[in-house]
Chains A and B, each alone.
Chain A
Amino acid sequence: MIDPMAKTLFEKVWDAHVVREPAGEPALVYIDLHLTHEVTSPQAFDGLRLAGRRVRRTDLTIATMDHNVPTTAGPITDPLAKEQLDALVRNCEEFGIELHATGSGSEGIVHVIGPELGLTQPGKTIVCGDSHTSTHGAFGAIAFGIGTSEVEHVLATQTLPQRRPRTMKIDYVGEMPLGLTPKDVILGTIGRFGVAGGVGYAVEYAGEPIRRMSMEGRMTVCNMSIEWGARCGMVAPDEKTFAFLEGRPRAPKGADFEAAVERWSVLPTDDGATFDRVETIDVGTLVPQVTWGTNPGMVVPVTGRVPSPGDYANADDRVATERALEYMGLKGGTAIEDIAIDRVFIGSCTNSRLEDLRAAARIVAGKKIDPRVVGLVVPGSAKVRAEAEAEGLDKVFTDAGFEWRLAGCSMCLGMNPDVVPAGQRCASTSNRNFEGRQGRGARTHLVSPEMAAAAALHGHFVDVRRLEVAA
């Protein structure tokens, strides 16, 4: 039954952050946490300097180094990357911003360290000059990526003018089959609705399969909200959320934590609240996913085949398929399991947390990767790296033939030296298979950590469910 007073999770958080909302104008929304990194901030700080402005809330702003940093030990050799990292150090000093610099022990991918530090919390508004900021929505926050002008706007005013998006709920039902991961759930979702299917919407991922997911899994799902165009993705906070945050360095402590949990507990969508759009997905029908083309919507089950242009009724889709097949060096009709790979990348803000590394390690433990495959494992943060090493995961990976690297964005976008050479094919746990994303001419296939690990062992894609049954 529709209850006019009932609110969705999104509406509760949004309404609590509207500073002003004059008729016909965008609302001015207060921002609780502003995460920054070296690539999208230098021009924003320049703008502040030019206008003689300061950072309004240095206490709500943090910075880290992630996009450009090398994942091998030793000094940075790329002079442009060094200049950008140096600029971040200078800007943080000049404007009084807390910096989690390389080597500090608390550095890492911005979307990994926010939750890790306990800064990402339910009910917050969180922005960052990076489209994968949607990750933080896994905690019941409104979190979205912004451009550099908006970074400057938030630095100067701690607010952003925003039009209220429409709301959508994806109701997941059914049982997660063995071998199906949160990555497959979100890839399957994007495959169903297309890369623009979520444009204009704040999406809530709901239902039992989401409730049963770990916080890491929920982060993987929310992370890829932008890959189908959504403004943000959210999951209602629950006991798992609170347990994840308790004891984190920047989470409230003691009585403050209890009070916070009380506030957070009323955030989930009320019974009777309405969404502008509701969709249902039965996860029981999904199988592990592999992208074949040049955007994340070009995805099929591992048991499937690469499509042909003739499979599509729409002319734009036919053209896009033709271009994608040409770029990817694939023929329509090829079985996914027959596609040989040259590289494997396990990392990125989508899949570089401890749980992801454990899942991949479980597949490769005691085995060797195909000798033709170059495998790279890049933990999401210095802390994830240390925790993984404490469990011996580094040894599992290196024994299997993988390289074990320092934390950073790395081969997800290849701004540092970790690039896939032209024409080579990479099974990647990252979030984008755009042309040139991992290097000019590089061919990316997005998969889960388990599927990436399995592909590394065999030198081509394999259905990880068969391996698990055999094991």
Chain B
Amino acid sequence: MKAFVRETGRVAIIDRPDVDTDQIIPKQFLKRVSRQGFGEALFYDWRFDENGDPRPGFELNRSEFANARVLLAGRNFGCGSSREHATWALQDYGIDVVIAPSFGDIFRSNASKVGLVIISLPDAEVKRLMESVNLDTGSDVTVDLEKRVILTPDGREVPFAFDEATRHKLMNGLDDIGLTLQHEDEIAAFEARHAVT
């Protein structure tokens, strides 16, 4: 997993509540057996019409949002299906950070496993952040996981809370399985006293 400490990048806005993982990566792309190449399928049915042409009305098709690294989204982003493909698609598209008022539970967990940085901010703060983006030229933001602050386009420093164990893992690009296997003796001891019928 790639380590994440601090990053500055273009921001995109999808200001819709309850964006589910069926939209982030539609089911027709779930038949692949590899983790690669899902970026082209990100938000496919919203991004492209029946002929595969970009829909001009969809947020990510705006030129000011091109090559976005940071996504500002509405409440309960990533609800629904457990498909981790949603996080792979966001990352493969170039998104490293998603900022929203709240997230789907499984999506949040998946993100922490693959190195996608998920930041929750109060509703009003997300709205203010969205309003600070220049919709004519596009804007950049900086996300600093080490200091736990976001540098907004209007020059403010917005602090955010972050689970400490996850932060340590993301900043060091650590593999969860490797960490768990350091405690294999404890797992074996547990198994010895725990019968499963």
Interface code B71-99, partner A: CB below 8 Å = 1, 0 otherwise? 00011100111111101000000000000
A146 touches B82 (CB 8 A): yes
B64 contacts A by Cβ under 8 Å: no
A159 touches B105 (CB 8 A): no
B194 touches A30 (CB 8 A): yes
Segment with Cβ contacts to B, from A21-29, A105-113, A329-337, A398-406? A21-29
Known: A68-B31, A146-B82, A434-B23. A19 touches B165 (CB 8 A): no
Q: How far is the CA of A32 from the CA of B191 in the complex (A)?
A: 10
**A295 — which chain B residues lie within 8 A by C-beta?**
18, 20, 79
B177 touches A436 (CB 8 A): no
Q: How far is the CA of A413 from the CA of B80 in the complex (A)?
A: 12
Query: B12-58: which have CB < 8 Å to A?
Result: 16-18, 20, 22-23, 26-28, 30-35, 45, 50
B75 touches A147 (CB 8 A): no
Known: A84-B33, A415-B30, A436-B45. A229 touches B82 (CB 8 A): no
A196 touches B102 (CB 8 A): yes
Known: A147-B87, A229-B105, A415-B30. A153 touches B165 (CB 8 A): no
B17 touches A320 (CB 8 A): yes
A212 contacts B by Cβ under 8 Å: no
B76 touches A19 (CB 8 A): no
B79 touches A149 (CB 8 A): no
**A30 — which chain B residues lie within 8 A by C-beta?**
187, 190-191, 194
A432 touches B80 (CB 8 A): yes
A153 touches B110 (CB 8 A): no
A434 touches B31 (CB 8 A): no
A432 touches B22 (CB 8 A): yes
Interface code B153-197, partner A: CB below 8 Å = 1, 0 otherwise? 000000000011100000000001101110110110011001011
A28 touches B17 (CB 8 A): no
Interface code A406-424, partner B: CB below 8 Å = 1, 0 otherwise? 0000000111000000100
A28 touches B80 (CB 8 A): no
Q: How far is the CA of A163 from the CA of B165 in the complex (A)?
A: 10
A231 touches B105 (CB 8 A): yes
**B163 — which chain A residues lie within 8 A by C-beta?**
163
Known: A147-B110, A153-B180. A43 touches B33 (CB 8 A): yes
B23 touches A436 (CB 8 A): yes
**B194 — which chain A residues lie within 8 A by C-beta?**
16-17, 30
A46 contacts B by Cβ under 8 Å: yes
- State how many angstroms separate the Cβ of A417 from the closest Cβ of chain B: 12
**B109 — which chain A residues lie within 8 A by C-beta?**
146-147, 150
* Chain A residues within 8 Å of chain B by Cβ, number: 78
Known: A87-B33, A124-B196, A316-B75. A19 touches B23 (CB 8 A): no
**A26 — which chain B residues lie within 8 A by C-beta?**
165
A269 contacts B by Cβ under 8 Å: no
B34 touches A316 (CB 8 A): no
A131 contacts B by Cβ under 8 Å: yes
Interface code A230-253, partner B: CB below 8 Å = 1, 0 otherwise? 110000000000000000000110
A-B contacts, 27 of them at CB < 8 A, read: A17-B194, A24-B165, A25-B165, A30-B194, A42-B33, A80-B32, A87-B33, A144-B106, A148-B110, A150-B113, A152-B177, A153-B177, A153-B180, A156-B180, A163-B163, A196-B76, A196-B79, A199-B76, A251-B197, A320-B16, A413-B22, A415-B31, A432-B20, A436-B45, A440-B26, A440-B45, A440-B50
Additional A-B contact list (17), CB under 8 Å, known A46-B33, A148-B85, A432-B81: A30-B190, A40-B82, A67-B30, A78-B31, A148-B110, A150-B113, A153-B113, A159-B187, A199-B105, A231-B105, A256-B197, A317-B17, A320-B16, A432-B80, A436-B22, A436-B27, A437-B27
Instruction: Give the B-binding residues of A (Cβ under 8 A).
Output: 16-17, 19-20, 24-26, 28, 30, 32-33, 39-40, 42-43, 46-47, 51, 53, 56, 60, 67-68, 78, 80-81, 83-84, 87, 121, 124, 129-131, 144-150, 152-153, 156-159, 161, 163, 195-196, 199-200, 226, 229-231, 251-252, 256, 260, 295, 297, 316-317, 319-320, 323, 413-415, 422, 432, 434-437, 440
Instruction: Give the A-binding residues of B (Cβ under 8 A).
Output: 16-18, 20, 22-23, 26-28, 30-35, 45, 50, 74-76, 79-85, 87, 102, 104-106, 109-110, 113-114, 163-165, 176-177, 179-181, 183-184, 186-187, 190-191, 194, 196-197
